[in-house]
């Protein structure tokens, strides 16, 4: 006797039930207590733009006024309502985390583009140093106090990306004989951080004209052949990791 399609499906369902399997591939039986997988909607484009604006505004205001700048002011500069700010970053620590993560990604990108686009490896170092200083890494470091989670997994990923890119930048210039051999990656990152940090009591805009001037003096000192013998040993990334913020 020929079975109908309905009979075949019913028999398969009974057999699957006996084996404890689902009759339909990829779906769990209700008896197993698992709900079907739900599709997670992607964030809307305008929501992503608002989040990016908030992070940019926060980074600018942290540099200008410090990490305790009022939330209302950050929302105002970003051009969004307070509700949008709190929906994206319920706690100040969430916003600080995102600002640091964004900063590290930007610094890594600067190093990677400099290597890809500059034929002269020392010019790549010069380009990176000036552009990274514009990100004002040093001005953001004071807000990374003991409560800040420097070992958060996504921060570790971005920090490693920064370290690998800058280490390669320095190594290329040294191999080409364009960068003095007695300096390390840490020496470069300390300069980027420290020379771009405003002096106490100095407004950021007033100090800005000196930053590029001092960085260029520093870069002249990095170029080979060396004009003097440096005391001590080259600073490594491990040295910096012990004593400074994760973005430097």
- Residue 4, domain member (yes or no): no
Stated pTM of the model: 0.71
For a pLDDT cut of 90, what percent of the chain falls above it?
40
How much is the mean pLDDT over the chain? 79
- Residue 38, domain member (yes or no): no
- Residue 21, domain member (yes or no): no
Answer yes or no: do 79 and 107 share one domain: no
Answer yes or no: do 184 and 117 share one domain: yes
Answer yes or no: do 116 and 226 share one domain: yes
Given this model, what pLDDT does residue 245 score? Answer: 57
Answer yes or no: do 82 and 161 share one domain: no
- Tally of domains in the chain: 2
Given this model, what pLDDT does residue 204 score? Answer: 53
CA distance 190 to 170: 14
Cβ contact 235:186 at 8 Å:
yes
- Over range 71-93, report the average pLDDT: 93
Answer yes or no: do 141 and 228 share one domain: yes
Residue 28 confidence class, pLDDT cut points 50, 70, 90: very low
Answer yes or no: do 227 and 120 share one domain: yes
Given this model, what pLDDT does residue 2 score? Answer: 46
- What dihedral do alpha carbons 158, 163, 164, 170 form, nearest 10°? 150
Question: Positive or negative, the Cα torsion across 168, 172, 178, 179?
Answer: positive
Answer yes or no: do 100 and 80 share one domain: no
Residue 200 confidence class, pLDDT cut points 50, 70, 90: low
Q: Which of 69, 90, 111 is the last residue of a domain?
A: 90
Q: Which of 90, 110, 145 is the last residue of a domain?
A: 90
Segments forming the whole domain that contains residue 209: 93-243
Given this model, what pLDDT does residue 85 score? Answer: 94
pLDDT in tens, 87-145: 999 998 899 999 999 999 999 999 999 999 999 999 999 999 999 988 887 767 666 66
Given this model, what pLDDT does residue 27 score? Answer: 44
Answer yes or no: do 127 and 48 share one domain: no
Answer yes or no: do 191 and 133 share one domain: yes
Answer yes or no: do 121 and 190 share one domain: yes
Answer yes or no: do 198 and 233 share one domain: yes
Our measurement of the distance from residue 241's CA atom to the centroid of its chain's CA atoms, rounded to an integer in Å, reads 16
- Residue 13, domain member (yes or no): no
Find which of 25-34, 154-163, 211-220 is predicted with most confidence, using mean pLDDT: 154-163
Given this model, what pLDDT does residue 12 score? Answer: 47
Q: Per residue in 120-147, is it b (16+ CB within 10 Å) or e — as a string? A: ebbebbbbbbbbbbebbbbbbbebbeee
CA distance 88 to 78: 13
pLDDT(150) > 50: yes
Given this model, what pLDDT does residue 185 score? Answer: 92
Given this model, what pLDDT does residue 177 score? Answer: 96
Answer yes or no: do 111 and 223 share one domain: yes
CA distance 146 to 232: 29
CATH number assigned to the domain comprising residue 218:
1.10.357.10
- Residue 14, domain member (yes or no): no
- Residue 33, domain member (yes or no): no
- Over range 228-232, report the average pLDDT: 77
């Amino acid at each position: 006797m020929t079975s109908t399609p309905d009979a075949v499906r019913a028999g398969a369902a009974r057999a699957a039930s006996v084996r404890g399997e689902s009759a339909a591939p990829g779906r769990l039986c209700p008896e197993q207590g698992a709900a079907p997988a739900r599709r997670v909607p992607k964030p809307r484009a305008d929501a992503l733009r608002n989040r990016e604006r908030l992070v940019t505004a926060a980074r600018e205001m942290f540099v200008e006024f410090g990490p305790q700048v009022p939330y209302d002011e950050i929302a105002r500069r970003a051009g969004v309502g307070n509700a949008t700010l709190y929906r994206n970053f319920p706690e100040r620590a969430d916003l600080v985390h995102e600002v640091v993560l964004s900063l590290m990604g930007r610094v890594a990108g600067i190093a990677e583009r400099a290597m890809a686009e500059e034929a002269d490896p020392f010019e790549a170092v010069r380009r990176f140093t000036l552009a990274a200083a514009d990100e004002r890494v040093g001005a953001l470091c004071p807000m990374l106090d003991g409560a800040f989670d420097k070992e958060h997994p996504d921060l570790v990923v971005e920090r490693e990306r920064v370290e690998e890119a800058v280490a390669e930048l320095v190594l290329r210039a040294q191999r080409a004989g364009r960068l003095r051999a007695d300096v390390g990656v840490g020496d470069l990152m300390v300069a980027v951080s420290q020379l771009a940090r405003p002096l106490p009591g100095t407004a950021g805009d007033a100090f800005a004209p000196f930053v590029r001037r001092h960085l260029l003096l520093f870069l002249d000192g990095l170029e080979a052949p060396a004009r003097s013998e440096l005391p001590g040993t080259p600073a490594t990334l491990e040295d910096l990791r012990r004593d400074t913020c994760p973005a430097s």
